[in-house]
């Protein structure tokens, strides 16, 4: 390896690493080390295999192969690599919302608010068909004008995704035009998530809940089901209902933990998703595709865990499928009585699933305006084996909170933070500095040090930002807000990061995106986006940069401290 680092900061996860080695089980960290050294061309976005004439590269040190066979140069290769990631992430979101809509329109469940659910379904269908121009009312006029000027306001799946996908197939689109297609697809993704959040609220209600987090939640006496990844909320609700009748425990990994009236205790975060199976306490897993490692199948077989992919639902009614899942879990529990249990004593309490409606956004805006807090940090993303699991999230949050930065989080980042007590209201004073703690006392009911705004798939961060802009009577790019993807992994996170930039929120992104082989593409993400939207996507290439150094660098921006080592500050002048 280029340098040695600890694999995880989570003690509950760490105790399984030597046990896996003793049994010859390869985990994500082992497989990553087996891939080193990584291909420099792929890592920097200078490779391509979009057709069968390749694979091709653009060699930075040779004159003979600067372009691919078709003539793509380094700039086109890099920006098209970014576009492909965004398209993939957007399609993942559309797949899930399609299953959700199908579950509602098929009558598989009765929404809590039927009228609102019909409106939400109609809006989603309209967005995918023609971009839903009516959505423009939900955004500030200046933001809409910037999107229209750049030609990135979504126009529907056919005009956005289909057309954008053809930019990697051929044509003579410039790097700038290709980047705008990526931004357009990213906004379609963000709009879909916003509408999906509305559908979730109509179908299940919208109340935050206290949930238990980490592998200690697996200590039940009966059968245990763990839901892995994103899939239809309707199916999840059906499984929960069937399980409740049989007193079967249902927990989750990389899945929405709050789905009223049910909660699915997060067992762990993305990077250690294989380890719950090694506890011996998981009898059956239901797996979607998104955020699920294929390695689960082999480890499940090793520990005699039944695996039920959601794809096996085809041709079945949800109620029958859910009942069958619970019955299989009960059978597996009886069959696995001889399997030894090794459950870590690690459990934290977390308040999760908050929304802008649960917060006094006007008081938050007032605290920003009067300088009572220095700014707001959005902590997002999953885990990445290139970093010590959870350490970047926890370090950033701790340093920000001490220095007067309000922190909000979402999705798997929230789970990572929850494992260390940062989402526990009872530990608020322990983690938050006085400025943030004073604000949290008046900004909502019993708020923790870090505010979880739900899963990214439900658009909670966008709703909060829109409310904040309205309360502040300012554009988002004029407010001291930063987004931080501290250890990003999936393509959906790339799409979300670009959509935040388009909204006017400068975003730090680790690890470096595969665009660094093209200085022009990197410059467009910084300078061009700043000109168009007042925000930048900031990509750093220093693999050895410690989390504390990252926190200090970002705090320099919040504190308006000039830093000669950083040439791409999001702002040169914040209005105080």
Q: What is the pLDDT of residues 275-325, one digit of tens each?
A: 999 999 999 999 999 999 999 999 999 999 999 999 887 778 999 999 999
Q: What is the mean pLDDT of residues 112-125?
A: 95
Q: Shortest CA distance to 275 belongs to which of 344, 349, 350?
A: 344
pTM of the model: 0.95
User: Which pLDDT value is given to residue 419?
Assistant: 98
Whether 569 has a pLDDT exceeding 90, the answer reads no
Whether 116 has a pLDDT exceeding 90, the answer reads yes
* φ, ψ of residue 308 in degrees (nearest 5): -125, 100
Q: Shortest CA distance to 417 belongs to which of 407, 403, 405?
A: 407
Whether 567 has a pLDDT exceeding 70, the answer reads no
Summarize pLDDT for 463-509 with one digit per residue, the tens.
999 999 999 999 999 999 999 999 999 999 999 999 999 999 999 99
* φ, ψ of residue 25 in degrees (nearest 5): -90, 125
| Alpha carbon distance 253, 265 (integer Å) | 8
Q: Give Cα separations from 514 to 33, 170, 332, 382, 511 (angstroms).
A: 19, 20, 43, 18, 9
| Alpha carbon distance 34, 99 (integer Å) | 37
Q: Give Cα separations from 393 to 433, 450, 546 (angstroms).
A: 17, 11, 12
What does the block give as tokens for 140? 């500030």
Q: What is the mean pLDDT of residues 115-134?
A: 91
CA angle 54, 59, 61 (to 5 degrees): 160
User: Which pLDDT value is given to residue 427?
Assistant: 97
| Helix ranges (DSSP H) in 274-405 | 296-302, 318-335, 361-369, 391-402
Full DSSP string of 24-79: T---HHHHHHHHPSPPHHHHTT-EE-SSTT--EE--TT-STTSS-TT---HHHHHH
Q: Count the residues in the chain.
A: 576
Q: Give Cα separations from 194 to 124, 238, 393, 497 (angstroms).
A: 10, 24, 24, 15
Q: Which residues contact 271 (CB under 8 A, 6 or more apart)?
A: 8, 13, 28, 382, 383, 384, 385, 389, 390
Please check whether residue 279 is in contact with residue 226, taking contact to mean a CB–CB distance below 8 angstroms.
Answer: no
Please check whether residue 537 is in contact with residue 509, taking contact to mean a CB–CB distance below 8 angstroms.
Answer: yes
Show contacts of 308-312: CB within 8 Å, 24+ apart: 308/284, 310/231, 310/232, 310/235, 310/286
Q: Which residues contact 474 (CB under 8 A, 6 or more apart)?
A: 575
Whether 574 has a pLDDT exceeding 80, the answer reads no
Task: Write out the H or E segment, with its range, that includes residue 377.
Answer: strand 375-380
Task: Write out the H or E segment, with its range, that includes residue 309.
Answer: strand 306-309
Chain centroid, CA 105 distance in Å: 27
pLDDT band per the 50, 70, 90 thresholds, residue 540: confident
Q: At what angle do helices 175-204 and 491-503 cross, to 10 degrees?
A: 100
């Amino acid at each position: 390896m280029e340098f040695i680092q600890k694999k995880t900061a989570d003690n509950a996860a760490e105790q399984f690493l030597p046990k896996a080695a003793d049994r010859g089980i390869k985990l994500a960290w082992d497989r990553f080390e087996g891939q080193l050294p990584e291909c420099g061309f792929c890592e920097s976005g200078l490779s391509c295999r979009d057709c069968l004439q390749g694979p091709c590269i653009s060699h930075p040190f040779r004159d003979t192969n600067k372009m691919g066979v078709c003539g793509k140069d380094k700039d086109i290769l890099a920006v098209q690599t970014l576009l492909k990631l965004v398209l993939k992430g957007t399609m993942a979101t559309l797949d899930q919302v399609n299953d959700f809509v199908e579950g509602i329109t098929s009558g598989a469940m009765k929404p809590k608010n039927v009228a609102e659910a019909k409106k939400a379904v109609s809006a989603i269908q309209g967005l995918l068909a023609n971009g839903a121009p009516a959505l423009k009312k939900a955004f500030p006029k200046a933001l809409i004008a910037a999107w229209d000027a750049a030609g990135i306001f979504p126009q529907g799946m056919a005009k956005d995704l289909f057309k954008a996908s053809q930019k990697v197939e051929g044509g003579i689109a410039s790097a700038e035009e290709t980047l705008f297609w990526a931004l357009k697809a990213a906004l379609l993704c963000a709009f879909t998530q916003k509408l999906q959040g509305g559908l979730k609220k109509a179908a299940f209600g919208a109340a935050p809940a206290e949930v238990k987090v980490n592998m200690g939640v697996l200590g039940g006496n009966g059968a245990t089901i763990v839901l892995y990844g994103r899939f239809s909320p309707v199916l999840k609700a059906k499984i929960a209902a069937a399980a409740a009748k049989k007193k079967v425990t249902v927990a989750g990994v990389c899945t929405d933990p709050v789905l009223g009236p049910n909660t699915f205790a997060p067992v762990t975060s993305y990077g250690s998703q294989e380890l719950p199976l090694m506890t011996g306490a998981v009898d059956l897993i239901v797996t979607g595709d998104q955020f699920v490692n294929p390695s689960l199948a082999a480890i499940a077989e090793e520990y005699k865990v039944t695996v039920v992919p959601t794809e096996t639902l085809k041709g079945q009614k949800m109620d029958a499928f859910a009942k069958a899942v619970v019955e299989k879990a009960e059978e597996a529990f009886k069959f696995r009585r001889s399997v030894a249990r090794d459950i870590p004593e690690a459990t934290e309490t977390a308040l999760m699933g908050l929304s802008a409606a649960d917060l006094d956004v006007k008081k938050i805006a007032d605290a920003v305006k009067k300088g009572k807090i220095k700014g707001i940090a959005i902590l997002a993303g999953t885990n990445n084996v290139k970093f010590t699991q959870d350490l970047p999230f926890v370090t950033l949050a701790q340093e920000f909170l001490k220095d007067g930065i309000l922190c909000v989080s979402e999705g798997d980042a929230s789970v990572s933070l929850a494992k260390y007590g940062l989402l526990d209201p009872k530990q608020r004073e322990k983690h938050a500095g006085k400025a943030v703690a004073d604000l949290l006392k008046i900004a909502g009911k019993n708020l923790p040090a870090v505010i979880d705004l739900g899963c990214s798939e439900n658009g909670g961060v966008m709703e909060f930002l829109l409310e904040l802009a309205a309360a502040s009577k300012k554009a988002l790019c004029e407010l001291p807000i930063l987004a931080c993807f501290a250890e990003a992994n999936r393509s959906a996170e790339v799409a979300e990061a670009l959509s935040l930039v388009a909204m006017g929120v400068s975003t730090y992104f680790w690890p470096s995106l595969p665009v660094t082989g093209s200085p022009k593409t990197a410059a467009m993400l910084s300078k061009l986006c700043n000109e168009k939207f007042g925000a930048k996507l900031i990509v750093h290439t220093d693999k050895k940069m410690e989390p504390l150094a990252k926190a200090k660098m970002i705090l320099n921006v919040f504190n308006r401290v000039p830093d000669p080592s950083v040439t791409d500050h999001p702002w040169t002048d914040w209005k105080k």
